[in-house]
Amino acid sequence: MSSIITRHVRLSHTAQLARSLHASSVQLVGRKKRLTRPQLKASAMAARKEHSQIYEEEDQFFDLEEMTEWEYDDHHTFGHLLLDSVRDVRKYLRQIQFEHPTLAKHAKPFQPLPKQNILQFERSFTMGEKYLAQDRKAVLRVKVAQLGLKDLELRKFLLLAGVRYNPETDELKMSESREATSLLNKKRLADTLVSLITEAKKKDDMFADVPLEFSYHKYKPNPALPAEWLRKSRAAQS
């Protein structure tokens, strides 16, 4: 209880100091007549004296010598932190108990996306946090075969995409995190893909003298198990 009273006293004195500063500034600025040098000096001295008195009264509440002894009537800092964590858990438990069941009437059956939606976007969300740096990132995945590009256009598109193209899975993967939110990064990725397709369809320069190679990609071997091994294992299990 003493810590709560101390915080209340600190806030009240801070508000009183702000009001006094505002009043003194209004007295100086709100005058229609121009003050002379002696009047300005006297007003400044009076304001300084008033402010010093407020600071002295505020320091008395935080002076260790004049501070009242702790009578074991309040928690320490770690106790208050523990109580805050308990309040957070109880808040989510109340939401699970009373708010989540009301959302059942808004549930809709799952419907797979149509074949026209070939773009796949990935975003991350952190529960209970806002404006985290890792939550701004957005990832775009798309199968290059579904873009409808022809031979020369496809070759130019792959040259422009560079290492973002995976020849093993025929997938283009791009990520963006320069914008402030994940939605803006998602829009930036869509615009980048549109600009790549538009540039690949231009006939002015098809980069015919540039070789198309995928030396950057490391193929991971995935050998299949021999058939006789599978028969033995099945026979052993039976």
Is pTM, for the whole model, over 0.75?
no
- In terms of Cβ atoms closer than 10 Å to its own Cβ (0-12, 13-18, 19+), residue 138 is buried
User: With contact defined as beta carbons under 8 Å apart, do 138 and 123 qualify?
Assistant: yes
Flag the least confident range among 44-48, 79-83, 109-113, 180-184: 44-48
- Length of the chain equals 238
Q: What is the pLDDT of residues 27-80, one digit of tens each?
A: 444 444 577 878 887 888 888 778 777 777 667 667 777 777 778 888 888 999
Please give the full DSSP string across the chain, using - where no structure is assigned: -HHHHHHHHHHHHHHHHHHHHHHHHHHHHS-SSPPPHHHHHHHHHHHHHHHHHHHHHHHHTT-TTTSPPP-S-S--HHHHHHHHHHHHHHHHHHIIIIIGGGGGGG-----PPPTT---EEEE---TT--S-GGGS-EEEEEEGGGG---HHHHHHHHHHHGGGEETTTTEEEEEE--SSSHHHHHHHHHHHHHHHHHHHT-SS---TTS----TT------PPPPHHHHHHHHHHH-
Rounded to whole angstroms, the Cα distance separating 148 from 115 reads 13
Token duo for residue 50: 């008033």
What does pLDDT average to over the chain? 81
Q: What is the pLDDT of residues 225-234, one digit of tens each?
A: 777 777 655 5
Q: Is the pLDDT of residue 198 over 90?
A: yes
In the prediction, which pLDDT does 177 show? 93
Closest CA to 183 of 118, 117, 115, 124: 124
Q: Is the pLDDT of residue 5 over 60?
A: no
In the prediction, which pLDDT does 182 show? 92
In the prediction, which pLDDT does 45 show? 83
Place of tokens 């964590």: 85
In the prediction, which pLDDT does 232 show? 58
Q: Is the pLDDT of residue 3 over 70?
A: no
Mean pLDDT of 87-105: 91
* Distance linking the first and last C-alpha atoms of the chain: 72
Q: What is the pLDDT of residues 117-164, one digit of tens each?
A: 999 999 988 888 888 888 999 999 999 999 999 989 999 999 999 999
